[in-house]
Structure 1
């Protein structure tokens, strides 16, 4: 199991080898705030979902248990208002901060792996009707523009927090990435019309 293995550090101490999703959750805690599972889900939806991961609540809590077991996070119950259940909040430990800092600085960065559903369908375009392929590319164009607009909105919100300077940069990267995805889909639509033997698309009105 990932949480049962350890890797040696230059100082000679053992550091647990965790999956990248654990480091992502620990990274959210590394900003120094005490956060609930709900907070972590909200923060990940503000930033991580644009470029890495959109976790479910069950995934968040699974990773938090793993981090507590490793000694990288601690938790406590916080009393809520009358009629509301107490909530558990989590904080990164000193050991956890040292571990995530080492991971961010020293662990080799995996290159991105492209698993592009629309591109796979385009590759299999000979099995689709021409209008199906066109609709798929239009949907991709619409999806990419929606994600670009979401990243743009979150950039404006993140800029208000000085501690989120680097996450703001990743949101700007995401904004530019999805703009390029939108433009690529538009270019593919034009390329689609130039395929040999393909009848040109004609707009139909009501």
Structure 2
């Protein structure tokens, strides 16, 4: 999949160096796909070039890479024919929550509070990406489809924030009262054996 992802990042009409391609991957792929390491980017570029899917050219800023007609045809065939499959859902917070009986509510709530901060930061980062795409996000423009993915990602983050907040509220509501708490400031009335607790009895 990494090779197709890198080919896809070169379909926007520009030629990129390996470093620039890595930067584009970090600013886009990381929100919905694992961004490849720098070493992987260069190894894939070399492999794709050797198969005729990319052409490279020496420029002042370094070696740049561009999609060849064969590369575009390969990518288009993959888009048409390859099964998309179902995304693998790997959620560390959900895994910890599943075995939450091994810890306490305070620990679980703290975990979700930390997750809320992470999602909020990612949402802000993706919002900036979305703003950068607005210059050409109309139908038929170069960033139309990337903008759809960015909007999808923002909706996903909104959903994650809502789920985490509701889960935190539920955990807090289900937390048992502290030891000795009666729910009232008034002292409990007790009776000795054989005595009535009714006033005036």
TM-score range, shorter-chain basis? 0.7 to 0.9
The secondary structure found in structure 1 opposite 2:131 is helix
For 1:198, the equivalent position in structure 2 comes to 176
- TM-score after normalising by structure 1: 0.79
For 2:67, the equivalent position in structure 1 comes to 92
For 1:183, the equivalent position in structure 2 comes to 162
TM-superposed deviation, 1:70: 2.0
Q: C-alpha separation between the residues in 2 aligned to 1:55 and 1:182? A: 27
The secondary structure found in structure 2 opposite 1:182 is helix
Contact 1:72 1:94 in 2 (8 A): yes
Q: C-alpha separation between the residues in 2 aligned to 1:53 and 1:175? A: 17
Q: Mapping of 1:1-206 within 5 angstroms?
A: 20-80=1-61, 87-161=62-136, 162-195=141-174, 198-199=176-177
Q: C-alpha separation between the residues in 2 aligned to 1:160 and 1:57? A: 28
For 1:83, the equivalent position in structure 2 comes to none
The secondary structure found in structure 1 opposite 2:135 is coil
TM-superposed deviation, 1:145: 1.5
TM-superposed deviation, 1:192: 0.9
Q: C-alpha separation between the residues in 1 aligned to 2:48 and 2:114? A: 39
Q: C-alpha separation between the residues in 1 aligned to 2:119 and 2:9? A: 25
CA-atom RMSD, angstroms?
Answer: 1.5
Distance 1:198 1:71, change over 3 A: farther
Distance 1:107 1:32, change over 3 A: same
Q: C-alpha separation between the residues in 1 aligned to 2:71 and 2:114? A: 42
Distance 1:63 1:198, change over 3 A: farther
- TM-score after normalising by structure 2: 0.81
TM-superposed deviation, 1:106: 1.8
User: Rg: which structure is higher?
Assistant: 2
Q: Which runs of 4 or more aligned residues in structure 1 lie more than 3 Å from their structure 2 counterparts after TM superposition?
A: 197-200
Contact 2:53 2:67 in 1 (8 A): yes
Q: C-alpha separation between the residues in 1 aligned to 2:60 and 2:122? A: 37
Aligned residues between the structures:
174
Contact 1:144 1:178 in 2 (8 A): yes
